[in-house]
């Protein structure tokens, strides 16, 4: 059994633009289900700890037509997260950064999270992220001062499919920033940058990313 740390945004509220966001339901719950069914343990963390803010759009009928993720959310599966500052990175075989636009606000430049990512990586374990979840990888610097994804093949949420009007109020372009340091592609659902770095494009890549993560964890444990 491997131990995986799933990191969620605590949430962001922009009163000026009447915009509130956080983490995306499918991007936590789909991987969580696959990892648990494979016999692995998933623990949750966020910058503030406690119950992080969900992007309510992610459990709307449009994105969760069967209400599966809404039921999982309402059951309390994500109500208790550990504070990032209380995380011991050495305990984990992988870190998984959940997407949702919230990740661009409170996870992207969180130095505590960068430290955890580096520690997991230095321990020979797996760093993974989906959708907007790769944002913190851009700012996670290695000892040489380069991003942890510098020169690697990566993916993440494409600029072209951001909701209309949203890019104007987001803190940065995810695709643009990833392209500054890495080789970004929107053509693949999941991309291994190297044997330790795995990225997924969007919510619909959540299951594929989790399946790749399970395979990699099983290989490391055999």
HEC readout, the chain: CCEEEEECCCCEEECCCCEEECECHHHHHHHHHHHHHCCCEEEEEECCCECCCECHHHHCCCCCCCCHHHHHHHCCCCCCEEEHHHCCHHHCCEEEECCCCHHHHHHCCCHHHHHHHHHHHHCCCEEEEECCCCHHHHHCECCCCCECCCCCEECCCCHHHCCCCCCCCCCCCHHHHHHHHCEECCCCCEEEEECCEEEECCHHHHHHHHHHHHHHHHHHHC
Per-residue pLDDT at 222 = 61
Per-residue pLDDT at 135 = 98
Per-residue pLDDT at 143 = 96
What is the pTM for the complete model shown?
Answer: 0.96
Per-residue pLDDT at 206 = 97
Alpha-carbon distance 60 to 66, whole Å?
A: 10
Alpha-carbon distance 132 to 16, whole Å?
A: 22
- pLDDT digits (tens), the chain, 222 positions: 999 999 999 999 999 999 999 999 999 999 999 999 999 999 999 999 999 999 999 999 999 999 999 999 999 999 999 999 999 999 999 999 999 999 999 999 999 999 999 999 999 999 999 999 999 999 999 999 999 999 999 999 999 999 988 999 999 999 999 999 999 999 999 999 999 999 999 999 999 999 999 999 988 766
- Number of domains comprising the chain: 1
Q: Which residues, listed in sequence order, are joined to residue 194 by a DSSP beta bridge? A: 197
CATH number, position 35: 3.40.50.880
Domain that holds residue 187: 3-221
């Amino acid at each position: 059994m491997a131990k995986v740390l799933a990191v969620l945004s605590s949430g962001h509220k922009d009163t000026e633009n009447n915009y509130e966001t956080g983490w995306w339901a499918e991007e936590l719950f789909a991987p969580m289900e696959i990892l648990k069914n494979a016999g692995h343990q998933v623990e949750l963390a966020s910058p503030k700890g406690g119950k992080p803010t969900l992007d309510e759009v992610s459990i709307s009928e449009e994105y969760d037509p069967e209400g599966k993720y809404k039921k999982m959310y309402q059951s309390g599966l994500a109500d208790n997260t550990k504070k990032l500052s209380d995380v011991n990175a050495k305990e984990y075989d992988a870190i998984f950064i959940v997407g949702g636009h919230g990740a661009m606000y409170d996870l992207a430049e969180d130095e505590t999270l960068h430290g955890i990512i580096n520690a997991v990586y230095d321990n020979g374990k797996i760093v993974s992220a989906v959708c907007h979840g790769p944002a913190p990888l851009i700012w996670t610097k290695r000892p040489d001062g380069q991003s942890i994804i510098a020169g690697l093949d990566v993916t993440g949420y494409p600029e072209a499919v951001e909701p209309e009007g949203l890019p104007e109020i987001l803190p940065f372009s995810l695709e643009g920033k990833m392209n500054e340091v890495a080789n970004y592609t929107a053509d693949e659902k999941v991309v291994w940058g190297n044997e330790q770095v795995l990225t997924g494009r969007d919510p619909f890549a959540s299951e594929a990313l989790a399946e790749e993560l399970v395979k990699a964890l099983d290989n490391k444990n055999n």
